[in-house]
Structure 1
Amino acid sequence: MPFDCHTQPLSATQARVLATLLEKSRTVPDSYPLTLNSLVTGCNQKTSREPVMQLSDSEVLQALDELRQQALVVEIGGARVARWEHNFERGIGVPSQSAALLGLLMLRGPQTAAELRGNAERWHRFADISSVEAFLAELHERSPDKGGPLVTLLPRAPGAREPRWAQLLCGPVDWQALAQAGTPGEAAGDLSSPTLPTRVQALEAQVAALQDCVQRLCAELGLPAPQPMSPPGQE
C-alpha cells in the first residue's frame, strides 16, 4: 500500500533524515549509502536547510528505525560499519523528478516553482519552470487510492510575485505559522533583503548626494542651479 501522509505523517526528524539520504544519493553518489556519522552531519549542516537542526546520533537512529518500519529506508550491512540508503521513490510511489522536488521541500521549506528549479540543479535538471509546475501539479492532484496529495499551493504572501509550494509528507501545513514567520529573506537581520523603509532612506540619500553634485557642477560652470526637489508630501 502506498505511503499515506494523511494517516501516518512524517515527523520533522524523520523528514530531515529521509530528505538528507535522498539529497546525498544525488549530490555525492560516491559517498552513498551513508554511515550514521555522515548522515547526522548531513542532517545538521547549516547550508541548504530550513530550519537548521541539531540532531543527536540517537535521534537519527530512532528516525531510521521508524522509517525502516515504513519501508522508506534500508540498512546495508557493511564489513565494518552499517550504511543507510533511502527507498523514497518506491516507498512513496513517485518518479525520481517528483522525489527531487519533495526532498527539496522537506529540506528547505516552502518554495516557488522557480526556486525549486534552481535549487534542484544538482538533484535533477528540469528543462524549464513549466516542467517543474507539471510535476507539482501531479503531486497536488494525486488520487486517494495512491495516498492523496503530497504538496499544496500556499496563498500568495503580501508583496510576493509567485505563490510557494509546501510538502504534505509531514501532515497539513500550518499556514498561519508560515505567514507569521514570513518568506525567506525577510527574517530580521537579513541584509540581502532590506525592508521598504530602509530602501527608501537609501534612495533618498542617493538623491541628495546627486543634487549636491549637480549644484557644485553648476557653480563651477557658472550655470543657474536647479531647484532642489522636495521629498513627497513636503511640497
Structure 2
Amino acid sequence: MPLRPLSPIESRVLATLMEKARTVPDSYPLTLNSLVSGCNQKTSRDPLMNVTDAQAQEALDSLKLLSLVFESSGSRVARWEHNFQRGVGVPEQSAVLLGLLILRGPQTAGELRINSERWYRFADISSVEAFLEELQDRAEEKGGPLVVKLARAPGMREQRWAHLLCGPVDPGEHQSEPSTAVSGHLEARIETLEKQVAQLGATVRDLCEQLGMSQPGHSE
C-alpha cells in the first residue's frame, strides 16, 4: 500500500529522528523536547522551521499510525524512535539519502555524498547516483518513485534531486537558487579558508622578518 504524502512537519520530525539516531546515538531515542530542538535547529536545515511541542506530538501520533515511528519502552519520559527503513521499505543507503533530502532540501549527488559523512560513508558519487536512480525508478507496486531529478539550476553544473515523501514536486521548481543550507555551508567554508590564508600570510611575514628576508612578492 503506497504511503500517503507526509506533511512538512511530519517529514521534519521523521528525518530528525533518523539524523539523531546516527549522529548522537547516546541521546537516542529522543524525548519530545530534544526532538523539537532538532527540528528547529538553525544548521543543516532547509527550510528553517519553528515547530511547537504540540505540533511535534501531533506529527508523532500520526507517524505512529503509519508505523514510521514508535514510542520506546522502559523510560519514565516518553522517548521516540523512527522505523523508516522498514516502514517505507528501502535499504539503509536509500534511507540516508531521503533523510538528508528532507532535512536539507534539494541537493546534487556530490552534495549528498559530502553531507552524508556522519550518517553513512558512500564509496563514491556513482554509488550515491545509483541509489538515487533506484529510488526514482521504484516500481508502483512498491509505492512508486521516492525522489525526482530537478531541472538544472542556472550556474550549476549538476542537477539536484528532491524527495517525494510530501507529494509530487514540479521538476522545474527550485531552479533559481541552490538550497540555502548548501549556500550557507559553502559560505562558511570560504570564510574559514580566508581566515586560514590570512593566518598563513601573517606567519610568513613574521618568519621573513626574523630571518631578515624580503617578503614574497616584494623586492628590496
* Cα gap change, 1:27 to 1:187, in 2 (>3 Å): closer
Gaps of 5+ in 1: 194-235
Alpha-carbon shift at residue 191 of structure 1 (Å): 9.7
* Cα gap change, 1:15 to 1:83, in 2 (>3 Å): same
Equivalent AA in structure 1 for residue 97 of structure 2? L
SS in 2 for 1:179: coil
Q: Which residue of 2 aligns with 1:107?
A: 103
SS in 2 for 1:48: coil
SS in 1 for 2:175: helix
* Cα gap change, 1:178 to 1:70, in 2 (>3 Å): same
- Does 2:90 match 1:117? no
Alpha-carbon shift at residue 131 of structure 1 (Å): 0.4
Q: Which residue of 2 aligns with 1:71?
A: 67
Residue number among 155, 159, 167 corresponding to 1:159 in the alignment? 155
Identity of aligned residues (%): 65
- Does 2:145 match 1:149? yes
Q: Which residue of 1 aligns with 2:56?
A: 60
Q: Which residue of 2 aligns with 1:47?
A: 43
Q: How many residues align?
A: 190
Q: Describe the superposition over 1:34-72 as per-residue Cα deviations: whole angstroms up to 9, x where unpaired.
A: 000110000000000001101000000000001000000
TM-score (norm 2): 0.80
Equivalent AA in structure 1 for residue 147 of structure 2? V
Query: 2: distance between equivalents of 1:140 and 1:153?
Result: 8
Q: Which residue of 1 aligns with 2:89?
A: 93
SS in 1 for 2:81: strand
Bigger-Rg structure (1/2): 1
Q: Describe the superposition over 1:92-124 as per-residue Cα deviations: whole angstroms up to 9, x where unpaired.
A: 000011000000000000000000000000000
Equivalent AA in structure 2 for residue 67 of structure 1? L
Conserved 8 A contact 2:147-2:163:
yes
Query: 2: distance between equivalents of 1:118 and 1:177?
Result: 23
Query: 1: distance between equivalents of 2:135 and 2:186?
Result: 35
* Cα gap change, 1:40 to 1:183, in 2 (>3 Å): same
Conserved 8 A contact 2:147-2:161:
yes
In the TM superposition, 1:1-235 aligns within 5 A as 1=1, 4-5=2-3, 8-175=4-171, 177-180=173-176, 182-184=177-179, 192=187
Conserved 8 A contact 2:150-2:173:
no
Q: Which residue of 2 aligns with 1:205?
A: none
TM-score (norm 1): 0.75
Gaps of 5+ in 2: 189-220
Equivalent AA in structure 2 for residue 134 of structure 1? A
Query: 1: distance between equivalents of 2:185 and 2:120?
Result: 29
> Over aligned residue pairs, what C-alpha RMSD do you find?
2.5
Query: 1: distance between equivalents of 2:169 and 2:98?
Result: 14
